[in-house]
């Protein structure tokens, strides 16, 4: 049975503008419909908040405020936001409609993906999130349901409904909004999220694409949350033999339980993903995973598993549980979560990977026995030799290179701190604890202090530079390229930077976004080419610098068949070189029947002919004073081209 028939909104028109045609999906916070914007005559997606949430004034205010912010995100891999409004009890968001499917649909149907396909999806997702992160926003609900794959192959990130400005994220003591399977440990523990929470979720999504299943599962959401806090995401190659180590490392980096160890934002993770791809051979990229059993479809629309749905998750559920500082069970972060301890059937907390847990009494007994057998001197030699190593030289190394050196020495990273420095380049190690060459136990952990560069950096002068070069200069200075807008300029070549905000020489903190205005070149005025042949019109427009496209269909018009009936840009419009103008070809005027007006007076005859779509010409014989129509140039009932002239003649003497 078609469940959309039961939806009271289907068939309704919201806000006097959006006609709802069908229900697409139901989520934890809203229902998404396919709708038609009756003003602009275009199909779009309409997201309508559930009434229970729409009744919360503070939630609605935040929804509206954040929707307006997200609407400013212009990126080819972000689902566009067109409009937001309310209609009675309904609060809605009008968005770009993407014909296709979600990544969740693909995973349910196919199971695990080949690494090449997984990276082909991951990279545009990270590009979209990177644009949001550098513009100051966090998504906070990344999951396969929010990755849209269009019929044309384009990948877009949807549902920024939980998005928040990075510098306005606040802690919520009672609950956290999100999807259980993709929540980062810090979201569960503290209810806060920055760009690294999105990075964690993307790591989980990558694992799911490579293996066909989620890294953490349980019979209750609480068990899944517990595993996020206490268990590392396993290596994908453990589930799919043959996957390259670079993919294991990419997942491990993104899903480190300590956020300080993760890539700082989606831009950084995208760089690592591209580096991992470049290191893989074609054979490694095309590893065929074993045929996974697709996930069972929900019994009814919108009734997916609880851990797949966006929901309000209570945090204050029970006994505080410490959050490890790293992925290997290191020291706590000196904070506690309010997550309820799992029920008896939950999996026990695993021992840290790569370590053997032995009861302390057993260790003491072994050492004591050795001392008795070998003597005190031999016992001291046993305890000290082979159990210690030295921290390798790390100063001046990049964070990645430092990690490799520590790993080669049998050590790992406990956490990464970032501080400003005038002496060390941005991204390089300026200190460590213990310090380089210090003695440390085998399998120990080292804290890295990585330079953020100078505490205040100066915005470089990139005016008149090509956009790509300007971006490199901004990044080199320790800043981030921000929102790009375009404007006409007579002085600056097309594609080069007109200005920045803030301007050159302005002092800013590292990683601040720098917006740029890029030149569209000198404006070109569009001529009127209607009535011209397609060949002549195309030649004229291309000579001016425009690209020309001819629409597939033809339309009836007053223009001669085969000539241009209309153009997408009107005469006098100002466009940039390279902009596209679409031409629609005429199939000639429609033939319509001419009304019979003989015997009627001039005024009535004129009205009848004009209403039918004709122009009228009145012919009065010399010395004729009659208004009665004696004849007409086209007899009544015969066909004539719409818009053509019909001559009516009055009676003579």
Catalytic residues: 141
Q: How far is CA 464 from the centre of its chain?
A: 30
Residues paired with 457 in a beta bridge: 508
Q: DSSP of 270-328, one letter per residue? A: HHHHHHHHHHS-HHHHTPPPP---PPPPPSSTT---GGGSEEEEE---SS-EEEESSTT
Write out the two tokens for 433: 């604890």
| Alpha helical stretches, state H, 167-290 | 185-190, 195-211, 221-230, 236-239, 245-254, 266-279, 282-285
Q: 96 in helix, strand or coil? A: strand
Between helix 266-279 and helix 245-254 the angle, nearest 10°, is 170
In terms of DSSP bridges, do strands 155-157 and 137-138 run parallel, antiparallel, or are they unpaired?
unpaired
Write out the two tokens for 384: 């000290």
**Tokens 């069972």 belong to residue:** 296
Q: What is the DSSP letter of 428?
A: B
Say how many residues make up the chain. Answer: 653
Phi and psi dihedrals of 384, rounded to 5?
A: -90, -35
Distance CA(53)–CA(88), nearest Å, equals: 14
Residues paired with 137 in a beta bridge: 165
Nearest-10 Cα torsion for 66, 72, 74, 79: 30
Residues 6+ apart with CB under 8 A from 327: 232, 252, 256, 257, 258, 261
Q: What is the DSSP letter of 573?
A: -
Task: Give the sheet arrangement for strand 155-157, strand by strand.
Answer: 100-102, 147-150, 155-157
Distance CA(56)–CA(499), nearest Å, equals: 42
**Shortest CA distance to 516 belongs to which of 472, 546, 478, 574?**
472
Q: 461 in helix, strand or coil? A: coil
Distance CA(86)–CA(109), nearest Å, equals: 37
CA distances from 362 to 145, 208, 323, 386, 442 (A): 50, 41, 28, 20, 20
Residues paired with 390 in a beta bridge: 439
């Amino acid at each position: 049975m078609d469940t959309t028939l039961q939806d009271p909104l289907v068939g309704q028109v919201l806000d006097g503008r959006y006609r709802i045609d069908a229900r697409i999906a139901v989520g934890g916070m809203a229902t998404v419909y396919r709708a038609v914007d009756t003003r602009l005559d275009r199909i779009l997606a309409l997201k309508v908040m559930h009434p229970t949430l729409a009744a919360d004034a503070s939630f609605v205010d935040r929804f509206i405020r954040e929707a307006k912010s997200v609407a400013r995100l212009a990126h080819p891999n972000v689902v566009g936001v067109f409009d937001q409004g309310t209609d009675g009890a309904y609060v809605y968001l009008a968005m770009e409609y993407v014909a296709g499917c979600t990544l969740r649909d693909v995973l349910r149907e196919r199971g695990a993906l080949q690494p090449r396909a997984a990276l082909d999806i991951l990279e545009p997702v990270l590009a979209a999130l990177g644009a949001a992160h550098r513009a100051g926003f966090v998504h906070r609900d990344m999951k396969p349901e929010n990755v849209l794959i269009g019929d044309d192959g384009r990948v877009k990130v949807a549902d920024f409904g939980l998005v928040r400005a990075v510098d306005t994220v606040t802690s919520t003591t009672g609950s956290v909004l999100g999807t259980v399977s993709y929540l980062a440990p810090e979201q569960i523990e503290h209810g806060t999220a920055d760009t690294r929470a999105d990075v964690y979720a993307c790591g989980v999504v990558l694992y799911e694409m490579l293996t066909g299943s989620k890294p953490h599962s349980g019979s209750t959401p609480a068990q899944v949350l517990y595993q996020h806090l206490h268990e590392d995401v396993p290596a994908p190659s453990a589930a799919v033999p043959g996957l390259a180590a670079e993919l294991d490392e990419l997942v491990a980096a993104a899903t480190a339980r300590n956020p300080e160890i993760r890539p700082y934002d989606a831009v950084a993770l995208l760089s690592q993903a591209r580096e991992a791809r470049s290191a893989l051979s074609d054979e490694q990229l095309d590893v065929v995973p074993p045929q996974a059993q697709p996930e069972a479809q929900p019994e009814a629309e919108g009734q997916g598993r609880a851990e797949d749905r966006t929901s309000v998750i209570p945090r204050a559920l029970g006994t505080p549980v410490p959050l490890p500082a790293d992925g290997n069970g290191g020291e706590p972060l000196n904070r506690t979560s309010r997550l309820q301890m799992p029920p008896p059937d939950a999996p026990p907390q695993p021992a840290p990977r790569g370590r053997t847990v032995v009861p302390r009494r057993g260790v003491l007994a072994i050492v004591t026995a050795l001392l008795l057998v070998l003597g005190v001197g031999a016992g001291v030699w046993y305890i000290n030799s082979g159990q210690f190593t030295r921290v390798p030289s790390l100063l001046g190394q990049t964070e990645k290179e430092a990690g490799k050196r520590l790993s080669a020495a049998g050590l790992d990273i406990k956490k990464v701190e970032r501080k400003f420095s005038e002496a060390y380049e941005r991204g390089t190690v300026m200190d460590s604890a213990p310090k380089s060459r210090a003695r440390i136990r085998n399998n120990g952990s080292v804290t890295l202090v990585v330079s953020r560069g100078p505490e205040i950096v100066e915005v470089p002068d990139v005016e008149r530079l090509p956009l790509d070069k300007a971006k490199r200069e901004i990044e080199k200075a320790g800043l981030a390229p921000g929102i790009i807008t375009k404007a006409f300029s007579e002085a600056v070549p097309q594609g080069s930077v007109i200005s920045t905000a803030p301007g050159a020489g302005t002092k800013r903190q590292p990683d601040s976004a720098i917006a740029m205005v890029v030149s569209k070149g000198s404006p070109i005025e569009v001529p009127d080419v209607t009535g011209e042949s397609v060949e002549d019109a195309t030649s004229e427009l291309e000579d001016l610098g425009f690209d020309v496209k001819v629409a597939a269909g033809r339309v009836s018009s007053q223009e001669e068949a085969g000539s241009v009936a209309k153009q997408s840009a009107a005469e006098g419009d100002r466009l940039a070189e390279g902009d596209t103008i679409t031409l629609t070809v005429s199939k000639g005027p429609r033939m319509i029947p001419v009304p019979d007006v003989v015997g009627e007076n001039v005024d009535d005859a004129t009205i009848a002919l004009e209403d039918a779509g004709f122009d009228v010409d009145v012919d009065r014989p010399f010395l004729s004073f009659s208004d009665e129509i004696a004849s007409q140039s086209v007899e009544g009932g015969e066909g004539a081209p719409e818009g053509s002239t019909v001559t009516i003649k009055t009676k003579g003497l």
